[in-house]
Structure 1
Amino acid sequence: MEADITAVQIADSVINAKPIINNRNVVIYIKPGELDLKDYALNFDLTPGATIVPASGSKQDFTKPVFYEVTSEDGQFSKRYAVSLLESSVPTAFDFELFGQDEKKNWVYFYENVEGIPQSLWASGNSGFAFTAGNNPTMQSYPTQVTEEEEYVVNGKHALYLETKSTGFLGGMVKKPIAAGNLFIGSVFTKSIIDIQTRFGLPFNHVPDSFEGYYQYTPGKKVIDKNGKEVLTTDECDIYAVLFDRVALMKATENDAVDPARTWLNDQDVLTSPHIVAIAKIENSAATPNAMQKFHVPFEFKRQISKAEAESFQYSIAIVLSSSKYGAIFQGAVGSKLIVDNLKINVK
Structure 2
Amino acid sequence: MIYSKLWLIPIGILLFLSSCIKDEAKNMEADIVSVNVPDSVINTKPIINNRNVVIYIKQGAIDLKKFAFEFELTPGAVSVPASGSEQDFTAPVAYEVTSEDGKFTKTYHVSLIESSVPSNFDFELFGQDEKKKWIYFYEEVEGMQQSLWASGNSGFAFTAGNNPTEQSYPTQSTSDAKYVVSGEHALYLETKSTGFLGGLVKKPIAAGNLFIGSLFSKSIVEIETRFGLPYNKVPETFEGFYKYEPGAKVINAQGQTVDVTDECDIYAVFYDRVALMKGTANDDVNPGRTWLTDADVKNSPYIVAIAQVKETGKTDGDGMVKFTVPFEFKKEFNRAEVDAFRYNIAVVFSASKNGAVFQGAVGSKLIVDNVKINTK
Q: Same fold, TM exceeding 0.5? A: yes
- Which of 239, 244, 261 matches 1:234? 261
**Which residue does 1:319 correspond to in 2?**
347
Pair 1:6-2:55 in alignment:
no
Q: Are the equivalent residues in 1 in contact too, given 2:93–2:110 (CA < 8 A)?
A: yes
Residue 112 of structure 1: aligned partner: 139
Query: 1:52 aligns to what SS in structure 2?
Result: strand
Q: Secondary structure at the match of 2:233?
A: coil
Give 1:18's aligned amino acid: K
Which segment is superposed worse, 36-45 or 117-126? 36-45
Matching residue of 2:87: 60
Residue 228 to residue 117, structure 1, CA distance change in 2 (3 Å)? same
Which residue of structure 1 aligns with residue 62 of structure 2? 35
Cα displacement (A) at 1:144:
0.4
Which residue number in structure 2 is paired with residue 168 of structure 1?
195
1:304 is displaced (CA, Å) by 2.5
Letter in structure 1 aligned against 2:97? V
329-338 or 9-18: which moved more?
9-18
Match of 1:344 in 2: 372
- CA deviations 1:12-44 (Å, max 9, x no partner) are 221111111123221100111111222221211
Counterpart position of 1:278:
305
Of 221, 241, 257, the residue aligned with 2:248 is: 221
Query: How many Å apart are 1:258 and its aligned residue?
Result: 9.3
Q: Which residue, out of 325, 328, 332, partners 2:356? A: 328
Q: CA deviation at 1:291?
A: 1.6
Which protein shows a greater Rg? 2
Provide the residue aligned with 2:129 in structure 1.
102
Q: Residue by residue, what CA displacement relative to the aligned partner does 1:260-315 show, whole Å, maximum 9, x if unpaired?
A: 61110001000011000000001110110122000000000012223322111000
Q: Output one character per residue of 1:113-160: Cα deviation in whole Å (capped at 9) or x when no partner.
A: 011011110000000000000000010010000001110000111000
**Cα distance in 1, alignment partners of residues 41 and 60 from structure 2:** 9
Q: Distance in 1 between matches of 2:359 and 2:209?
A: 14
- Aligned-partner SS, 2:157: helix
Q: CA 1:253/1:72 → structure 2, altered by over 3 Å: closer, same or farther?
A: farther
Task: Check whether the contact 1:253–1:262 (CA below 8 A) recurs between aligned residues.
Answer: no
Q: Give, in whole Å, the separation in 2 of the partners of 1:171 and 1:80.
A: 28
Cα distance in 2, alignment partners of residues 251 and 146 from structure 1: 38
TM superposition shift of 1:248: 0.4
Q: Deviations over 1:85-110 (max 9, x none)?
A: 11110000000000011100000100
Deviating 4+ runs (over 4 angstroms): 256-260
Partner of 2:338: 310
**Equivalent pair of 1:253/1:259 in contact (CA under 8 Å):** no
> In the aligned structure 1, how far is the partner of 2:310 from the partner of 2:109?
39
Please, which runs of 5 or more residues in structure 1 have no aligned partner? none
Matched AA of 1:109:
Y
Query: In structure 2, what is the Cα distance between the partners aligned to 1:105 and 1:70?
Result: 18
TM-superposed deviation, 1:52: 1.3
Query: Are the structure 2 counterparts of residues 168 and 71 from structure 1 closer, same or farther at C-alpha, using a change threshold of 3 Å?
Result: same
Q: Which amino acid aligns with 1:279?
A: I
CA distance in 2, matches of 1:220, 1:66: 42
Q: TM-score, normalised by structure 1?
A: 0.97
After superposition, the C-alpha distances for 1:211-243 in whole angstroms (9 at most, x for unaligned) are 000000000111111001111110000000000
CA contact (8 A) 1:159 1:341 kept: yes
CA distance in 1, matches of 2:275, 2:362: 39
The residue type equivalent to 1:337 in the other structure is K
Could you tell me how far apart the structure 2 residues matched to 1:257 and 1:10 are?
A: 26
Match for residue 118 of structure 2 among 69, 73, 91: 91
Whole-angstrom CA distance in 2 between matches of 1:139 and 1:65: 25
The question of whether the paired residues in 1 share the 8 Å contact of 2:191 and 2:208 is answered with yes
Give the CA deviation at 1:76.
Answer: 1.6
**Identity across matched positions, percent:** 71
Counterpart residue number, 1:269: 296
Residue type at the aligned position of 2:35: V
Read off the aligned partner of 1:16 and give its amino acid letter.
N
* Structure 2 residue runs without a partner (length 5+): 1-27
Question: Does 2:145 correspond to 1:147?
Answer: no
